[in-house]
Structure formats: C-alpha cells, structure tokens
Amino acid sequence: ELFVLTYGALVAQLCKDYEKDEDVNTCLDRMGYGIGVRLIDDFLARSAVKKCRSYSETADMIAQVAFKMYLGVTPSVSCSSAAGNEFSLILDKNPLVDFVEELPAERASLCYCNVLCGVIRGALEMVHLAAEVTFLQDRLKGDAVTEIGITFLRKAED
Amino acid sequence: VGHAVLAINGAEVNGRFTADGKDVLEFLGNPANYPVSIRFGRHRLSSNEKLMLASMFHSLFAIGSQLSPEVGSSGIEMLETDTFKLHCFQTLTGIKFMVLADPRQAGIDSLLRKIYEIYSDFALKNPFYSLEMPIRCELFDQNLKLALEVAEKAGPFGPGS
C-alpha cells in the first residue's frame, strides 16, 4: 500500500511540475526505464529462468512471472500481429490504481501507469531486445480494460 | 618472475619503502640489519589492472563462444590450471561474474548465483550506484564477504568427491 501511495504522490507532484500531460508521461517513462534496466538482473537472479527462445515466450514470461513477482497480478497475453512481434498484456487488476477513481478533466491524456511501460522497455533492452511499449487502453480513461502493447523491434545483435 | 618484495621482517613494503619510510634496498644493503626475513609474492592487483585483465578476459570469452564447435555455446565457463580454477558465469544481460578458487573447491556454481543476487540487491538497488562503474557499496562488500565465508566453509565436499 505504501508503494501505491508513494506512486500516487509521485504522479501528483509531476503533474504540479509539468503543465503538459505528454511531459508527465515522458518523465514517468524515463523513470520506469531507469528502474527496468536494474530490475531485470534482480528478476533473472531470483527467478533463474532460462533464455526465452521467442517473442511469445518473452511476453508470457513478462506477464506470468515478472508481473506476478513484482505486482502480484498476472495479465493475460495475446498476440496481436501475424508477424508475431506485437503482443498485448491485458490487466484485469492494476494495483497501482487502487486508490484512483478516474483522471481529473484537465489530465485527460495522462498515462498514469506509464512507469510500467518504461520498466518493461528498459528491462527488455538489457537482454538485447528492443521494443516499444505503450498503453493501448486504459480503464482510467474510460476504456473497458487496461491494455499494454509491446512491439518487439528487430533483435539487437550481441 | 612477476614477484616482488611484499614484506621485510613482518612489516609491509610499498614499492621501495617500508611503512615507516625506510628505503628497502638501503636496509637490505646494510649487513648490520641481518638476519632479515623477506617475503616475496605476487603484488595485489590495482583496480586498473583488474579492469584491464577483466576486459581481456571478456574478449577471450567472446572468441571462445565463436570458436566453439557446439552451436549456441555461451562462452568460457571454466578455466582450469594446476593451481587454480577460474569460474565464469554470464547473465542474460551480459554481465560476467568471475571467481578464482582452489581447484578442489566445490559449490562455486551456487556461489556465483548467490553473488548475482547480492549484486542485484546491493549494487543495482543502490540509487547512488551507476551502472558499469566499479562497485563501491559497503553493503555489497559485506554481503559478498559473508557469502565467500560460507562457500569456503563448505570446503571441497561436493557431489561425487
């Protein structure tokens, strides 16, 4: 709970610091990235998982092992492109927004949980997988579910 | 070859001078100071030397994985000599942990994994530690020391030994 409240205070402060929603979103993403590049080693050290051999395995790993380990929830995964490099994580329950009902009117395009996108992006980069991670749907914005989209870009060569 | 004077009569020597400023060669040249006990050994590596050797190993590691006749080889895991064994563990993020141990020492694999955990806890989670820089975190050193002590106590007992 303390973490969720701290996150809320962080977002509120950023909203005071930055006028534009995009700036807050960018800031959250950047912070998330900084967390992700370090969190990945903790994840690998603790979960002792083997190297993933496909994007699909990677997406499953993020949803079923990582989210479970760090947020206690397990989003469902679906592949949204024929090429096999675009995936969606559908969050049924999102602990970060436990105390948030809806976004205030003047913050309509705020991605409240954008830090998560940064974390995923940073973590993937450290295992040499470049990806774009964004929120496709957000319950806080009135959508039915909260959906994070991961698009794997060309794999970086070691 | 490669050895240097480490101590004279028990007092540590730094380069040409002892701890209290005496010139070593002068001291040794004066017969009035005999008998004198001299300890020879390899110098402790400086941080820079360690960095240099580590990056050389990193290159060898990469060459090793490319030369390997097995497909998908991950690189050098162990280097064995008469006097020591060098164990190397590479994480999926490309970080390498190297441990030099007695050839008979067992349990190095689990030690390497434990070190990975210690690194992710006390180095990575330290907000003031910058990635890729030398680790100067007190907690990291302490926990590392503990883990090494535990591993040493376990001794040369391993499966099949």
> Do residues B12 and B44 touch, judged by C-beta distance below 8 A?
no
pLDDT digits (tens, 9 = 90+) for A17-48: 998 888 999 999 999 999 999 999 999 999 98
User: Which CATH number applies to B3-42?
Assistant: 2.30.42.40
Chain A hits for B124, Cβ within 8 Å:
38-39, 41-42
| pLDDT greater than 60 at residue B158 | no
pLDDT digits (tens, 9 = 90+) for B120-155: 999 999 888 888 888 888 999 999 999 988 888 876
ipTM of the modeled complex: 0.82
User: Which CATH number applies to B77-154?
Assistant: 3.30.450.70
What is the rounded distance in angstroms from the CA atom of residue A147 to the CA atom of residue A75?
Answer: 9
pLDDT digits (tens, 9 = 90+) for B60-78: 887 877 887 877 777 778 8
Any long-range contacts for A12-17 (C-beta under 8 Å, 24+ apart)? A15/A107, A15/A110
User: Which CATH number applies to A1-152?
Assistant: 3.30.1380.20
Terminal-residue alpha carbon distance, chain A: 40
Domain assignments of chain B as residue spans, ordered by start:
3-42, 77-154
Residue A20: left if φ>0, alpha if ψ -120 to 50, beta else—which one? beta
What is the rounded distance in angstroms from the CA atom of residue B6 to the CA atom of residue A96?
Answer: 58
What is the rounded distance in angstroms from the CA atom of residue B30 to the CA atom of residue B77?
Answer: 51
Domain assignments of chain A as residue spans, ordered by start:
1-152
Please report the pLDDT score of residue B88 as a whole number. 87
For chain A, helix (H) and strand (E) counts, in that order, are: 5, 4
| pLDDT greater than 70 at residue A84 | yes
CA distance B117 to chain A (A): 5
Using CB atoms, which residue from B93, B125, B131 is nearest to A44? B93
Q: What is the mean pLDDT of chain B?
A: 79
What is the rounded distance in angstroms from the CA atom of residue B72 to the CA atom of residue B58?
Answer: 17
| pLDDT greater than 50 at residue B53 | yes
